[in-house]
Amino acid sequence: MTLPMDKHLVETRLESRELLKGSFLHAFEDVVRLPDGSTATREYVVHPGAVMMIPLIEDANGACRVVLERQFRYPVGRVMVEFPAGKLDPGEAIQVCAERELREETGYSAKEWARAGMMHPVIAYSTECIDVWFARGLTVGEQQLDTGEFLEVFTATPDELLQWCFESKVTDAKTLTGALWLQNMLSGSWQLQWQPSVGSAHSK
């Protein structure tokens, strides 16, 4: 939402140096020119981008449920309830990534996909951007977790998920954003454009 008249807000890069190259964290410190002409430093993490999936499934009566995960997240020291998500591989198309990650983490493949939007989880210190997708027409298969990845897959009704958001039992910001999308999609306020699977789910 940067506009042509935003010069009084924009910061521009003067220098950049690598602060840290870990096995996961890749951090930089840049010197930037501020809108008033002075300089400041900005420290941030570079992230490859990710995709989150809101998988819709019907119960025996045709009522909507969503597929969720429970996973221990070490930095926050607790088991989190989350929508499935994963990082983009280099050069990977976003829908291909979404289909791959859904299959690997949950075992589900989806016949139809709809891109909802995107979010930036941590604009103060990371470049990370998460694309948000809905998936429907699920068929179940085998989970293919990475080595060292431990998570549980379960389903819940939208009302249960929203109640957990209200009670701070769900606190993962991407999943809270997914709940906003789910609520407005189900009420008909926010429309989706569905498209077929690109089929990567079966290509590996």
Which listed range, 93-101, 106-114, 136-144, 165-173, lies at the site for a copy of itself (CB under 8 A)? 165-173
Q: How many other C-beta atoms lie within 10 A of the C-beta of residue 177?
A: 20
Residue 8 CB-half CA count within 13 A:
1
Rounded distance, CA 42 to CA 31, Å?
A: 6
With CB under 8 A as the contact rule, the residue among 127, 143, 155, 200 that binds a copy of itself is 127
Q: Which residue from 199, 178, 3, 25 is spatially nearest to 111, judged by alpha carbons? A: 199
Q: Which among 89, 56, 85 is positioned nearest to 151, based on CA atoms?
A: 85
Residue given tokens 């997708």 in the structure block = 133
- For a copy of itself, the closer of residues 137 and 190 by Cβ is 190
User: What residues between 29 and 88 interact with a copy of itself by CB under 8 A?
Assistant: 29-30, 32, 34-36, 38, 40-45, 70-76, 78-82
Binders in 178-197 for a copy of itself, by CB under 8 A:
179-180, 183-184, 189-190
Structure-token match 């088991």, residue found: 79
Q: Residue 199 Cβ, how far from a copy of itself at the closest point, in Å? A: 26
| Paired strand residues for 26 | 21
Binder among 3, 17, 62, 90 for a copy of itself (CB under 8 A): 3
Closest to a copy of itself by CB, 129 or 137 = 129
Counting residues that bind a copy of itself (by CB under 8 A) gives 78
